[in-house]
Structure 1
Amino acid sequence: MSLPAPGPGLPLFRETVRPEWIDYNGHMSEAFYVLVFGYATDALMDATGLDAAYRTATGCSLYTVEAHVRYLNDVAEGTELAVRTRVLGVDAKKARFTHEMYALPAADSGASGPPVATTELLALHVDQGAGRSTPFPDAVRARLAALTEAAPRWAGRSITEVRST
C-alpha cells in the first residue's frame, strides 16, 4: 500500500519517534501522538500564512478548541512517521482539519499500511491580546479555502457510548 499523497499544496509532515516518547508498554505514549499532530498543525499554519512572523506582527494565532484522536496502532522507537493534513472547511474565524499519521517502513520504500492514528480538529483564530476570536485575514482564509478537500470517512464521528449490562 502506498502512502497517501499530500493534500493540495500541503507537504507531508515527517517526524521520527524519539526514545523519550516510549512508555512503559514499549511503544509511543499517547501524549506524543498528540505532540506530533501539534507539529503537523504548526506546519499547516506556516503553509497558510499563520507563521511565527504573522503571530509576532499581529498577536493572533490559531487555538485548538476541540480534538478527537483515534489511536489505531502501536508505534515503536525509531519509527519514521508521515502525517497527511486535510483542511475540511473554513469560515470567518474557524478552521476544521484532520491529520492522519502513518508509520513508514524502515527502508522508506514509500509504502505504508493504514494510519496508526488520526485526529480531527476545530481551531479558532484568536487575538491573544483581546482574548477572543477574530476573523482570519482575507488572504489566510482564501488560502485555507483553496486547500479544502473532502473529509475522510472517519471524520465527524464521536466516541461510542459504553453501556453497562
Structure 2
Amino acid sequence: MSLLWNEPVQDAWIDYNGHLSEAYYVLVFGHATDNVMDAVGIDATYREAHDASLYTLEAHVRYLAEVPAGADLEVRSSVIGVSGKLLWIWHELWVDDRLRATEEVLGVHVRGGASAPMPDDIAAAAGAARVAPPDEASGRIRPLADPATG
C-alpha cells in the first residue's frame, strides 16, 4: 500500500542556493509520517485517548536532486516493516515526476512515555499495509512473521 502526501514548497524553506533547504525535506517527510500514522490507526484521537504515539528512533535521508522554489511536493509512503513495537516507513519525495529524495524511518510505539507493543488492531493495520522494502532501504529490517512480538 502506498499513501500520498502533497504540499507546496513555502518561500521560507528556500536556502541561499535557491533550493529547498535540507531541514525542510525532513519536515515534509515528518508530515508524511503523520499521514502513515493516521492510516494505521495512530491518529490524533488514539494518541490523546491512550497517551501513545510513534517516536522516531532512526531516520536515513538521501538527497538525490534539488527541489526548486515554488515546487509542488508529492511524498509516496509505504510501511516496509512492522513488529510488536516497531514500524519502518519508506518515503519518496517526488517533484515533476522525478525522485528528489528518500527517507527511511524507524519508529517505536510509545505509551505513557515508554515503549509498548502496538494494540492488535494497529499492528494488524500496519501489517496489512506492509510492502517489500525497496532495494535502496538499509537492509536492517527484520522480517517478522508475528507482528505481536518485537
Three-state SS of the structure 1 residue aligned to 2:88 is strand
Instruction: Give the match for residue 31 of structure 1.
Output: 23
For the pair 1:147 / 2:147, whether they are aligned, the reply is no
Cα RMSD for the two superposed structures: 1.3
Q: Give the greater-gyration-radius structure (CA).
A: 1
Superposed structure 1 runs of 4+ greater than 4 Å apart: none
Compute the displacement of 1:157 (Å). 6.2
CA distance in 1, matches of 2:81, 2:38: 18
TM-score scaled by length of structure 1: 0.82
Instruction: Give the match for residue 93 of structure 2.
Output: 101
Alpha carbons of structure 1 residues 75 and 157: separation in structure 2 relative to 1, 3 Å: farther
Compute the displacement of 1:16 (Å). 0.6
Paired residues for 1:51-90 under 5 Å: 51-90=43-82
Paired residues for 1:126-137 under 5 Å: 126-127=110-111, 129=112, 131-137=113-119
Compute the displacement of 1:11 (Å). 3.1
Alignment length (residue pairs):
140
Compute the displacement of 1:33 (Å). 0.1
Question: Any unmatched runs of 5+ in structure 2?
Answer: 141-150
Instruction: Give the match for residue 109 of structure 2.
Output: 125
Three-state SS of the structure 1 residue aligned to 2:3 is coil
Instruction: Please point out which of 3, 15, 36 is paired with 2:7.
Output: 15
Structure 2 counterpart of 1:148, one-letter code: R
Instruction: Give the match for residue 100 of structure 2.
Output: 116
Structure 2 counterpart of 1:119, one-letter code: E
TM-score scaled by length of structure 2: 0.90
Compute the displacement of 1:41 (Å). 0.3
CA distance in 2, matches of 1:97, 1:87: 5
Compute the displacement of 1:29 (Å). 0.3
Three-state SS of the structure 2 residue aligned to 1:153 is coil
CA deviation profile, 1:12-33 (whole Å, cap 9, x unmatched): 1111111000011110000000
Compute the displacement of 1:132 (Å). 1.2
Instruction: Give the match for residue 148 of structure 2.
Output: none
Q: Greater strand share, 1 or 2? A: 2
